[in-house]
Amino acid sequence: MTLPDTVAAALRAASDRLAAVSDTARLDAELLLAHALGVTRSDLLLRHMRDPSPAGFAPLVERRLQREPIAYIIGRQEFYGLDLAVSPAVLIPRGDSETLIEAAQGAFPADPPARLLDLGTGSGALLLAAQSLWPAAEAWGIDRSPDALAVAQANAASLGMGAQFRIADWQQAGWTEGLGRFDLILANPPYVEDDAALDADVRDWEPAGALFSGPDGLDDYRILVPQLPGLMTQGGCALVEIGWAQADAVAAIAAGAGLSSQLHRDLGGRPRALCLRLGLGKQDSNGYLPS
């Protein structure tokens, strides 16, 4: 009789195979095995290394070998300390997007924002993170994808947050009807160039509609940014995520709409978000106020 493989042996074998498709093969293997056992990764490492490896592990490794992201396989992703459900209907929340939440905190040092809006909310990550900072605020999330909104709604419910969601598409006339004005607007719109060289994990698995935005990745900004002044309060701030090389181009679009821009960088020091405010104020000739 052969003894069943232990967790330790199964982790070694899986991380060897996953090295062909992943820079984080060992971590991937641990996360998938922990998921198959229904335990946390730290419990796996502390308590289960000598247990028999569960039968459910092998199919998860096969999925990862097809480049499916870990977050879709296990159905969860952490964002700003929130444990969120994700599905292939939504972009997987990135750590880089936490830059917007940090910037939002800095934008409201005294009076908290009373109304929050997340444009293209996807999993609800940005909206729910902002709501975790300002639980008394009225929070709205919109998305054109009903499947994405269902994920956001489920995340709000499981976190006990009373955010409101609506199907809306900023490319369609009348989508702002009845929304009113907001003190804080968050948006991580699609901004990737159509022909960008993305990892297969992203290009083959994440929703194209949340990623790509024309030849230069700016199509959604061109449509959305000029509509922002109609959605903002005086003193409000619209924080939009940008690709690292897009700050000047998006600031110019904003200036054309009468909005000033302040740049925020991510932890890697790269341009990641612009805080747009009503009025051009003092700024350089690009309409661009670096910080």
Residues of span 241-260 touching ligand GLN by CB under 6 A? 241
Q: Which residues of 184-208 are buried (b: 16+ CB within 10 A; e: fewer)?
A: bbbbbbbbbbeeeeeeebeeebbbe
Residues of span 45-104 touching ligand GLN by CB under 6 A? 94
**222 interacts with ligand GLN by CB under 6 A:** no
Write down the number of H helices and E strands in the chain.
12, 9
Q: Site size for ligand GLN, by CB under 6 A? A: 9
d(CA 5, CA 23): 25
Beta bridge partners of 115: 138
Amino acid found at 78: E
Binding-site residue positions for S-adenosyl-L-methionine:
120-124, 143, 170, 188
- Quick check: 237 and 217 in contact, CB under 8 A? no
Could you tell me which stretch among 79-87, 139-147, 185-193, 283-291 binds ligand GLN (CB under 6 A)? 185-193
Nearer to ligand GLN, 30 or 201 (CB): 201
By DSSP bridging, strand 115-119 and strand 82-85 are unpaired
Nearer to ligand GLN, 95 or 135 (CB): 95
Other CB atoms within 10 A of residue 272 CB:
25
Nearer to ligand GLN, 69 or 287 (CB): 69
Contacts of 55 (CB under 8 A, 6+ apart): none
Could you tell me which stretch among 24-32, 79-87, 189-197, 282-290 binds ligand GLN (CB under 6 A)? 189-197
User: Binding residue for ligand GLN (CB under 6 A) from 107, 192, 237, 275?
Assistant: 192
Beta bridge partners of 87: none
- Quick check: 92 and 77 in contact, CB under 8 A? yes
What minimum distance in Å lies between the beta carbon of 184 and ligand GLN? 18
Binding-site residue positions:
120-124, 143, 170, 188-191
Residues of span 111-150 touching ligand GLN by CB under 6 A? none
User: Binding residue for ligand GLN (CB under 6 A) from 69, 124, 141, 190?
Assistant: 190
Contacts of 226 (CB under 8 A, 6+ apart): 253, 256, 257
**26 interacts with ligand GLN by CB under 6 A:** no
Q: Which residues bind ligand GLN (CB under 6 A)?
A: 94, 188-192, 202, 211, 241
